Structure 1
């Protein structure tokens, strides 16, 4: 009979999916195959998705797809934010309505999940957004004074409030929009990163107080929102978009609104980093889309007939998994073992829904990003 030596921890059992894969390997394989193309890659993506979903891993699965689009988003595919938010809501409704085993056998759930896989695997992709470096010395007042004053923007005039916002916010807002007008993406993102870093620095120094006393993000609560500066940037981006749209230079109403909604927290699974990337993507759109021949997002599906046929056939991937014995539902902590160096604590019990969501997001992100 095996015994444990003093101080030795019992070996944690391997958590497996319904089809028999080690859970963390199934997630890794799905994440990797989403970036591949071809019939074989599509089949693998559908197979791993069906296995993970039928093993109770819906939360891991949907978070993986949200992470994937932020890692691979292309400006021509901005409609994916509208699509994935809607599909997430549709799938969540099915999850709430049905018993788990009934859910796995539900053709509507199977087909909607398969459609997500098929569409996200085929949309145009590019490398992850790269933020410009912001040297520490740029936060010195002497450096700021050496920067040339930007052109005044009507969007900033509408948003900036002298009684609440410090002059530096007006300066930064005008810098961002002037850079967008000049299609200087790197400079626009530099100023976005700069103001977010400056906000963090000032809040740390001033017990939470920053460059504004406005409560754009508090939704009437009166409390200081740590992301108030982000709400200011979102507001000037929205005004700048309206101006471009009136002139016919951009036609991405739903896509831009989806990004604004995601920034404001409509999708609770997003980390603050991903929400800030929504601001960056809005700025990219303001800088680049007006120069396109057709300033609109491309359809996600180029051939609806092909996608429809593939979706109909996808149920067989669920059928081959459902003949296997049921397993205990897989949860994010089951895939966190390979990311020990991230020092994610699994012992402290979350005290609120927000804490639970944050912990789950950290575990999934740590596994994928390691």
Structure 2
């Protein structure tokens, strides 16, 4: 048994499972009983690989960042998921899940989104396949991610605002789950991250594992070896991280670094640093590390990046943290914004603010000159230009 794979009950060590209302039980059972079998069929794989190549634009490049490498005296590679169609890694998952939904004869698709990238990716594949699409998004995120809202509407999706709580990603997810409870029969919920009840964390990890599979092949041609010394990615729920980490989980010679958003500081009460601030609890049908008060009520997360202000992390990442397999580093808003500016000015790549968090780790780590680092450049910064502009007073 692999140490870092999901077990038959949907757990990664102490984390995971499916804690859902009875009304959703049959939906999850249908998905759990069929997803592995469908994904492994020749028909699915043929369609999936064709769309990844011709529609998404895979394989994405593994780019050697020469200027950054020289500055930090180590070998820095960027896995360019920002070059995927729609501008982020999210499309890998939605392509796979829309094919799965069609195989299960679902005609109505719902999704949640924070930064809007998953919403855009879901709206994109629904347009491609001619299926109804409803995306739930927090009112706060609708305002700060207006370009992505416009894209979703152009693609034919209905964007429904979540008006409760902090009106961000957590609340959008709550609304999507409510919708699914009310429309169980013909609806498929495309969850955008490695969160939620089993089998979603494993399903999304499997679909995103294309990232690390490509890294192995690309590194072999560039460095003569398949394994880097470090794989590094930002973690909100954690799908881009799971995709990059997936092929290296069992190889303990590869160090894993997850980068969380500490917002205005871990002790500021305006943070999303789940591994530091969280305790074991249940959110959105999964047992994981969760930011909560002493009474077990979820505390509101905060980050300047709309995709990282989730009060929990995926159960795989909680397991990696608890077992010590991965190191987690917390980065403030200010550190992330400066790192995003540095990548822009030094490599000509403007990253999503979520992604920028990962590039702020250099003052917290000592890398050797021959170390090979692979960062997941998970999304591009077009959607965040207004936030960048306001922050830097451009």
Q: Given the two structures, how large is their TM-score scaled by the length of structure 2?
A: 0.24
Structure with the higher fraction of residues in strand conformation: 2
> Whose Rg is larger?
1
Q: Given the two structures, how large is their TM-score scaled by the length of structure 1?
A: 0.25
Higher RCO (C-alpha 8 Å, min separation 6):
1
Structure with the higher fraction of residues in helix conformation: 1
